[in-house]
Structure 1
Amino acid sequence: MIVIYGIKERLNPIKSNLSDVIHGCMRSVLGMPEDKRAHRFIPLEPEDFYYPGGRSDAYTVIEINMMAGRKPETQKALIKSLFKELDSQLSLAPIDVEITIKEQQPHQWGFRGMTGDEANDLKYKVNV
């Protein structure tokens, strides 16, 4: 699951394209299937979103929640791909993007009535 935060006036107009760019990176780097998109957008009022100095009102936070298992170099490749594609496709400058990857053990995920460590029919690899 991916959660995206930003100031609503800047985030709302690009939601669909931003989702496409993020999912494209997830597919190309992690091998996620086309139908495995789980994005949540949190558009905020400017007074509810404090961000570091030197950033513009386009500042966007992307939190990627995933099952543990991806190698550090795979995670870094995902982050770098996101920076590159967000800049080239949406003109969202790397200075205005913060990306965090939060890993949880498979037993800490629950979906389709089971935990992640019980799922044996995933259409993607976790250990890449």
Structure 2
Amino acid sequence: MSQVKIYGERLNLLPIREQLSDVIHSCVVDALQFPPNKRAHRFFCLEPEDFFRPATASDRYVILEFIMMEGRSIDTKKKFIHLLYERISTQLNLPVTDLEICILESPAHNWGFRGMTGDEITLNYNVNV
């Protein structure tokens, strides 16, 4: 299970929302081996006064937060992060200084979906990659 939160300034994030979602999802499918029909993305389009950013970032600055069940190897997570930087910077022309990524993990028993906890349900993909 994984959910994605995408934060950015409204004026810059709205025009790229669909393409960014597609690029993120392609990385999730390729690096984390998710099924293609498994996408849970939420966009938080903020006003400039509500989104403080580092001095090294432009107004195109985006934060990606991935919330997922623990179980993936360090190598898999690093591959995922590098793939995100590569594809987003190339396909959306977003400098790497305008992108921050964080993976937050929790045990499967902390998740609830389809009426069960994550450690009780059978998934159609492997978390331990």
Q: State the partner residue of 2:126.
A: 125
Question: How many residue pairs align between the two structures?
Answer: 127
Q: State the partner residue of 2:81.
A: 79
**What secondary structure does 2:76 align onto?**
helix
Q: Pairwise mapping of residues 37-52 of structure 1 onto structure 2 (< 5 A)?
A: 37-52=39-54
Per the normalisation by structure 1, the TM-score is 0.98
**What secondary structure does 1:118 align onto?**
coil
Listed as ranges, the gaps of 5+ residues in structure 1 are: none
Per the normalisation by structure 2, the TM-score is 0.97
Output the amino acid matched with 1:32: F
Output the amino acid matched with 2:24: I
Taking only the aligned residue pairs, the percentage that are identical comes to 50
- Residue 102 of structure 1 is aligned with which of 89, 101, 104? 104
CA shift, 1:35, in A, is: 1.0
**What secondary structure does 1:77 align onto?**
helix
* Moved beyond 3 Å, runs of 4+: none
Q: Pairwise mapping of residues 25-44 of structure 1 onto structure 2 (< 5 A)?
A: 25-44=27-46
Over aligned residue pairs, what C-alpha RMSD do you find? 0.5
Q: Deviations over 1:26-79 (max 9, x none)?
A: 000111111110000000000000011111000000000000000011000000
**What secondary structure does 2:103 align onto?**
strand
Alpha-carbon separation, structure 2, partners of 1:13 and 1:57: 14
CA shift, 1:123, in A, is: 1.4
Q: Pairwise mapping of residues 82-93 of structure 1 onto structure 2 (< 5 A)?
A: 82-93=84-95
Alpha-carbon separation, structure 1, partners of 2:45 and 2:107: 29
Alpha-carbon separation, structure 2, partners of 1:74 and 1:93: 23
Q: State the partner residue of 1:57.
A: 59
Output the amino acid matched with 2:27: C
